[in-house]
Structure 1
Amino acid sequence: MPEILMTLWFFSQQISYKSHNILMSDKFKFPYSYWTVPSELHLCTGIIRLLKHFNWTWVGILASDDDSSATSVQILKEGIEQNGGCTEFIETFPHTDVIPPDMIKQISGSLHSSSASVIIVYGNKEYFMNLHNYIDIMQIPRKTWITTAELDFRSIYSLARNVTNYTLAFTMEKKNIPSFSKFVREVNSTLFPRNKQIQQWWIDLCSSRCSQSIRRSCRTKRYQLIPHCNTKYLGSSYNIYNAVYALANALHSMVMSGSGKNISWSGESQVSDYLPWKLHHHMKSVHFKNILDEERFFDENGDFSIGYEIINRVYLPNGTQLNEIVGRYNPYALSGQDFAINEKAIVWGSGVSQVPPESKCTQSCPPGLRKSTSKEKPFCCYVCIPCTDGEISSQSDMDTCTKCPEDQWSNQKRDACIPKVITFLSYEEPLGISLTLISTFFCFLSVLILGIFIKYRQTPIVKANNRSLSYILLISLMLCFLCSLIFIGHPGNLNCILRQITFGIIFSISLSSVLAKTITVVIAFQATKPKSKLRNWISSRVSNSIVLCCFLLQVLLCIIWLCTSPPFPYYNTESEIGTILIECNEGSMIAYYCVMGYLGFLASISIVVAFLARNLPDTFNEAKHITFSMVVFCSVWVSFIPTYLSTKGKYMVAVEIFAILASCAGLLGCIFIPKCYIVLLRPENNNKKYLTRYIKTYKD
């Protein structure tokens, strides 16, 4: 029996029912240590879970200056940072009775100047009391305190009145042991040893729950009766109860196992069979149900399967304190049930506000903005900058903006993607209507001039300028004005093909007609010389052949274009912000440049020949008018290139339509308007004598 008692005494020194040093959780260094209290590692995790729940990302830490607290604070700091938070400051406070004034001033300055609304006070009861004696932390305005000190009774410390701050305290899980409160009420305190700790415990417990002798003793010693000494859970009684039962179950397991077969309760057994490390084997595997039907065991670190309660401490104006359990953290519970908090039960500040305070270095970035950090500041301290065009942030405090899909764009607030506006040059908009009216007007004007030429086809001025070429040119100009309408409207497969192909072929007819007229004029003047062989070339057959050859060559180029890579509709999402431009992709750019280059070649030949023939002697020299028309034509298309390249979207199409209309109008005006002027307004000049003043008129 003495050996059993020796073993029990040994293990009673190894089982602790109070908060333990976190450094002793190392089982390699302390393999025989056990606790019936939760581990401080779990305490750090519980605090981090609480911070994360309320989104408190900017906190300060006050801790005691011992090695255990330093290790815990480092673990706490790393956990806060891993969960997106930052620590504004970490201040340590010693336990010594005399604190240097500079240290007090520094800590007080950090607390008062801190922008963090949440301060973690990490330390035991003695540390908390020592801190409170030097710095009245509860009077610092607009602070939330998260404490880890085990403060069992209100009379343990004295707080100033009018405290407006509030505290969330992590305390060890406590339960009411049946019949224990009855024992406290009925026990005679005089039977216990008289020392200061026991005496203080009874003093703190003085209330109507205590026996008459205790209350009488309190009054005799002039101790103040405090209503909140009537606590539901009496000190560390629950932890001590679990420690005793754990040791008893381990001993029972050892006795019932093979290790206890040699036990003799008469004292005849050998002492070496019951050394403490034999009981240690059974302590590791202790698993029992206590009187409250709770399953309890030690984990691999010797920590007990118990969690923490989160207490809301409210200090009333009359100096009393209310303690309300508002949450729990039990790391041994099932996933999703290990942390619970009742926000509605928490009294915030003066008790008026029901909204948890915010503790952030920077206010939340609302949707539409993103966080931007700098290397000089903690990553919790950031500035909010708007998302760029085409990007959104649909949630608060986003680190990066999300790019919208190609067919969508960011709205004005940059918090949602909306479909892009589909745009093209339509007939309904003012620009499309204006171009349509202009095109229709010049087409009508071409028809009118063609009618005039047909009506006065027998007059000398119409006959002198090659009637067939004039008809072909007028019809081609009329079609050019009409082909500009193909560029307006929703681009489709057929529409895109017809745009450039029709434009290229009809323009080739117009330019080849001008070239044929210019060549005819030159030949006509040269044929006036005696015995000139050029007279055989003055016929409509030659000029028509020139037009046909130039036309067929352009048709061949267009056929090659269509067979290799024809134009097609293209959804352009990049040219204009927030819009989808439906335009025609030219397909093969080589074929496109060949078709356009061929038109430029015809125009160049025409202007060169017309320029050389501009000074031929004649009262009405058509070469001069052709020269002017080609100068206008080339000027329009030369200025078109930079203008076209500098515009975007539907305005590029409008520029091309304007170039078509302007160049065709130049040909129409410079070549045919002077003739119409003579035919309609100066009929006296429309005679053979006027036209053959210097040369003989060739027959059409």
Structure 2
Amino acid sequence: MLFSCFSYDVSSSVYSSSCQLQGQFHLNGMHKPGDVILGGIFRFHFFPADPDLSFTSEPQQPTCYGFDVIGFRKAQTMAFAIDEINRNSNLLPNVTVGYSLYDNCLQVGVGFRAALTLVSGQEGQVTLEENCVGTPPVLGIVGDSSSTRTIAISTVLGLYRVPLVSYFATCSCLSDRQRFPSFFRTIPNDAFQVNAMIQILKHFGWTWAGLLISDNDYGFHAARSFHSDLGTAAGGCLAYTEILPRVYDPAELKRIVDVMRKSTARVVIAFASQSRMLNLMKEVVRQNVTGLQWIASEGWTSSTSLQTPHLMSYLGGTLGFAIRRGEIPQLREFLLQIRPDLRHNNTAGNSLVNQFWEHTFQCRFAPPPAGWVEAGGEFCTGQEVIENVENEFLDVSDLRSEYNVYKAVYALAYALDDMLQCEPGRGPFSNNTCAHLQRLEPWQLLHYLEKVNFTITFGDRVSFDENGDALPIYDIMNWVWLPDGRTKVQRVGEVKRSAFKGEELTLDEDKIFWNFESKQPPRSVCSESCPLGTRMARKKGEPECCFDCVPCSEGKISNTTDSMECTSCPEDFWSSPQRDHCVPKKTEFLSYHEPLGICLTTTSLLGTCICGVVLGIFIHHHSTPIVRANNSELSFLLLVSLKLCFLCSLLFIGRPRRWTCQLRHAAFGISFVLCVSCILMKTMVVLAVFRASKPGGESSLKWFGAVQQRGTVLVLTSVQAAICTVWLVCASPVPHKNTQYHSGKIVYECAVGSTVGFAVLLGYIGLLAVLSCLLAFLARNLPDSFNEAKLITFSMLIFCAVWVAFVPAYISSPGKYADAVEVFAILASSFGLLVALFGPKCYIILLRPERNTKKAIMGRDAES
């Protein structure tokens, strides 16, 4: 991109061209020659002094100021790793690796210039032969530390398939292989960090959290991941999402902190850099916003500038995600060997090592640029002892981003080693060719980098997935506020992803310091958990984790907290009063054990006994005139049928079963038809006897002899038996669990099977009863000797009244009460017949025996 090619002799048979470098970038850097060169982009300075843009002349390149010791240590870590590789006889033997490391000055433009310089070189003119042979300036680059800068750099490097291995760019967008085909990283991407944070939220039950992000790719992609993953993974949501300004803006920070103070969320996730958090904490301290549980991204978890005593009352207890800590043996000894270059004191200020020396010892090798005073007034001798200075440069006890740099360099080295060990004729490139040291291309290294797999000396395995991401792992850190006022950041767990177990979260909760009076994790929920027996109902217009707890309706339960739906109980079960489990439905039927059933059973048995007593009385006095005068045979049969009527009512009491359902109506119908048939026959005999007493009426008695009476009763009863048989065969009554009357009860009843059959059965009984009643009514004025017609009339009126009232009462009575109504009708009509027909006779037999004579009966007739 920086070369302009000119053609010299187009007619010549030998084609050659030269590329002229149109300009050079003046960048801070460190270099070491070698057979192959690896590039690096690091932050050596904090900020640039941008020149004025007049748009009338070519702008000057920015000058960077503010030396960054930690960035310099990262670059020295890469230099150490390359030196270690060169000393390793098993890795890249007979190949010397060099490096070119440039400053990004914390600016996209400067970092982009550094990347272009690495891929195009610094030679003023390059002559290209026809075959375009030659090794490119660098085969791979380690960097950059910022997602935004890395996106810009990797977009261009991807076009030329130059591998870029980042040690700190975490944006999940960089996993897009279509946009960034040559990008790799040794740090987990933000998507994994977001998932890890969500696991922390889920672990402690925090469903209501605030989110603070930076206004760059790092923050925006993290916010996007939170909004898409938080609800589904943890059942939670964000109370607010605020963007921290790039520069110190008191008004905007006041607004953000005011939102935090008013929110009910007790957990705040900060996906931001150290500098933005420092600006935010100024306003947090001013408004004295305490009682928050902070969750820190890797961008500020290890920030020593925030771990100060006056901030620990606000930030104490912070849980943060830190890059995996590693140990790099001999690194400290390597750093102690750094010495400035004193050969050219007048230009020594351009040397990064010399700038480090000046910054460390507050001295100077040469006058600093105008307008900038950083070093002290003393001149450096170069013999100062680094160990005697309190400097974090030599502190290698907590190597995190440096460890990622170390792994990135080794990943490139192992890929290069695999590429150079290729056997001719068995290579992965066209025609099974291999790469050669004199003609290496970055895209060839890219092929091997995708397949690299090795174990670092610290024990961690390094490999890349299909998106260029390394196996992710984070240390979980906790900010501890010690009683003596000192602060400490301790490791309390880790989260990692393995190929077999997926994501694993490990926490040592006993070691976690909670900055609350209770010394326990805080509660941070929009709505309290819904207890058992309720379901969550989202509040309209509010986030999904804000909800009301609505009790489950009858017949439904929820047996878990925060249930989204209530589940219906099985058919034979019902919800408990608490709606938290299903219980068997109460069964309801006319039982022998309940008061109503006991009363009806007692009445039925009482009626049966009375019938037996009356039958005994009639048998004992069968030769008396009052028994013989009223057709004793039909009277005996009538008493037996009444006894059966009383007994059949017992079939309606108790749990319905198939045989009781089939038998109850058949027994009821046949018994009552037998009873009414006997009454009808007695009525017809009374009329026949009265007619026979008149002149010329003797012939009517021949139709009502004993045989005819028995035959008529049998025929009338057989008709009802036939009706019952057809009904039972075609649509037999069966037990039925009815849940229509009461949702929470199972009403056991006998389904009639055929309403028509039941109606015909009742209709036939009614027909005989009405016919008996009419005939008895016609015979009501017969002489006293035949006064049984009056008793039959009265009894049939009672019978008809009971059953006319029964029909509407039966239809309108639910469940067991329908059976009770039917039993009551059976008993009432049976008692009515028993008392009306046999009461007066028993009264005479037992209490007025003087009237139980033929003379007395005839005497009554004469008196009338």
Distance 1:531 1:169, change over 3 A: same
How far apart, CA to CA, are the structure 1 residues paired with 2:357 and 2:599? 103
Deviation track 1:211-263 (CA, whole Å, cap 9, x = no partner) reads: 99668655xxxxxx99xx97831452212212222233344444445788654
How far apart, CA to CA, are the structure 1 residues paired with 2:835 and 2:858? 26
- Note if contact 2:210-2:265 (Cα within 8 Å) is conserved in structure 1: yes
Residue in 2 that maps onto 1:145 = 294
Q: CA deviation at 1:169?
A: 0.8
Residue in 2 that maps onto 1:481 = 646
Unaligned runs of 5+ in 1: 202-210, 219-224, 265-272, 696-700
Alignment of 1:225-374 (within 5 A): 232-234=397-399, 236-257=401-422, 263=437, 273-274=439-440, 276-316=442-482, 318-336=484-502, 338-350=504-516, 352-354=518-520, 356-374=521-539
Question: Normalising by structure 2, what TM-score?
Answer: 0.69
Q: CA deviation at 1:73?
A: 0.6
2:497 aligns to what SS in structure 1?
coil
One-letter code aligned to 1:343: E
Distance 1:592 1:361, change over 3 A: same
2:537 aligns to what SS in structure 1?
strand
Distance 1:614 1:360, change over 3 A: farther
How far apart, CA to CA, are the structure 1 residues paired with 2:333 and 2:437? 37
2:770 aligns to what SS in structure 1?
helix
* Residue in structure 1 matching 2:664, options 486, 499, 502: 499
Distance 1:299 1:518, change over 3 A: same
Residue in 2 that maps onto 1:107 = 256
Residue in 1 that maps onto 2:214 = 64
Distance 1:216 1:439, change over 3 A: same
Residue in 2 that maps onto 1:194 = 355
How far apart, CA to CA, are the structure 1 residues paired with 2:651 and 2:435? 107
Residue in 1 that maps onto 2:168 = 18
Q: CA deviation at 1:510?
A: 0.8
Q: CA deviation at 1:665?
A: 0.6
Residue in 1 that maps onto 2:809 = 643
- Note if contact 1:62-1:93 (Cα within 8 Å) is conserved in structure 2: yes
1:160 aligns to what SS in structure 2?
helix
* Residue in structure 1 matching 2:837, options 650, 671, 693: 671
Distance 1:545 1:96, change over 3 A: same
* Residue in structure 2 matching 1:119, options 263, 268, 284: 268
Distance 1:568 1:153, change over 3 A: closer
2:355 aligns to what SS in structure 1?
coil
Distance 1:554 1:336, change over 3 A: same
Q: CA deviation at 1:562?
A: 4.0
One-letter code aligned to 1:194: Q
- Note if contact 1:161-1:317 (Cα within 8 Å) is conserved in structure 2: no
- Note if contact 2:799-2:833 (Cα within 8 Å) is conserved in structure 1: yes
2:211 aligns to what SS in structure 1?
strand
- Note if contact 2:336-2:387 (Cα within 8 Å) is conserved in structure 1: no
Is 1:179 aligned to residue 179 of structure 2? no
Is 1:688 aligned to residue 857 of structure 2? yes
Question: Normalising by structure 1, what TM-score?
Answer: 0.83
Q: CA deviation at 1:186?
A: 8.1
2:212 aligns to what SS in structure 1?
strand
* Residue in structure 1 matching 2:313, options 143, 162, 187: 162
Q: CA deviation at 1:196?
A: 11
* Residue in structure 2 matching 1:600, options 745, 766, 782: 766
Identity across matched positions, percent: 38
1:301 aligns to what SS in structure 2?
coil
* Residue in structure 2 matching 1:435, options 576, 579, 600: 600
- Note if contact 2:420-2:436 (Cα within 8 Å) is conserved in structure 1: no
When structure 1 is superposed on structure 2, of 420-429 and 598-607 the one drifting more is 420-429
How far apart, CA to CA, are the structure 1 residues paired with 2:686 and 2:358? 130
When structure 1 is superposed on structure 2, of 183-192 and 390-399 the one drifting more is 183-192
One-letter code aligned to 2:267: V
Q: CA deviation at 1:477?
A: 0.9
How far apart, CA to CA, are the structure 2 residues paired with 1:197 and 1:375? 63
Distance 1:118 1:162, change over 3 A: closer
Q: CA deviation at 1:481?
A: 1.3
Residue in 1 that maps onto 2:798 = 632
Residue in 2 that maps onto 1:402 = 567
- Note if contact 2:555-2:569 (Cα within 8 Å) is conserved in structure 1: yes
When structure 1 is superposed on structure 2, of 682-691 and 400-409 the one drifting more is 682-691
1:688 aligns to what SS in structure 2?
helix
Question: Relative contact order (alpha carbons < 8 A, sep ≥ 6): 1 or 2 greater?
Answer: 1
Distance 1:52 1:200, change over 3 A: farther
Distance 1:427 1:172, change over 3 A: same
Residue in 1 that maps onto 2:197 = 47
Q: CA deviation at 1:550?
A: 1.0
* Residue in structure 1 matching 2:556, options 386, 391, 396: 391
1:669 aligns to what SS in structure 2?
helix
How far apart, CA to CA, are the structure 2 residues paired with 1:179 and 1:263? 30
Aligned length: 667
How far apart, CA to CA, are the structure 1 residues paired with 2:36 and 2:178? 26
How far apart, CA to CA, are the structure 1 residues paired with 2:358 and 2:633? 128
- Note if contact 1:618-1:694 (Cα within 8 Å) is conserved in structure 2: no
Residue in 1 that maps onto 2:789 = 623
- Note if contact 2:302-2:322 (Cα within 8 Å) is conserved in structure 1: no
Alignment of 1:124-135 (within 5 A): 124-135=273-284
- Note if contact 2:649-2:826 (Cα within 8 Å) is conserved in structure 1: yes
Unaligned runs of 5+ in 2: 1-32, 40-98, 101-117, 119-140, 144-163, 342-351, 363-382, 425-432
Q: CA deviation at 1:154?
A: 2.7
Q: CA deviation at 1:570?
A: 4.7
How far apart, CA to CA, are the structure 2 residues paired with 1:643 and 1:189? 113
Q: CA deviation at 1:132?
A: 1.6
1:162 aligns to what SS in structure 2?
helix
Residue in 2 that maps onto 1:88 = 239
Is 1:31 aligned to residue 181 of structure 2? yes
One-letter code aligned to 1:469: L
Q: CA deviation at 1:170?
A: 1.4
One-letter code aligned to 1:391: K
1:378 aligns to what SS in structure 2?
coil
Task: Flag the structure with larger Rg.
Answer: 2
Is 1:76 aligned to residue 226 of structure 2? yes
How far apart, CA to CA, are the structure 2 residues paired with 1:256 and 1:310? 40
One-letter code aligned to 2:608: C
When structure 1 is superposed on structure 2, of 406-415 and 677-686 the one drifting more is 677-686
2:599 aligns to what SS in structure 1?
helix
- Note if contact 1:162-1:316 (Cα within 8 Å) is conserved in structure 2: no
- Note if contact 1:162-1:317 (Cα within 8 Å) is conserved in structure 2: no
Q: Aligned Cα RMSD in Å? A: 3.8
Residue in 2 that maps onto 1:560 = 726
Deviation track 1:638-673 (CA, whole Å, cap 9, x = no partner) reads: 333343344444444333222211110111122222
Deviation track 1:256-300 (CA, whole Å, cap 9, x = no partner) reads: 457886545xxxxxxxx4454454444333333322232212333
- Note if contact 1:95-1:130 (Cα within 8 Å) is conserved in structure 2: no
How far apart, CA to CA, are the structure 2 residues paired with 1:4 and 1:414? 74
Alignment of 1:411-490 (within 5 A): 411-420=576-585, 424-490=589-655
- Note if contact 1:620-1:691 (Cα within 8 Å) is conserved in structure 2: no
How far apart, CA to CA, are the structure 2 residues paired with 1:196 and 1:494? 107
Distance 1:232 1:622, change over 3 A: farther
Deviation track 1:562-602 (CA, whole Å, cap 9, x = no partner) reads: 44454444555665555555544444554344323322222
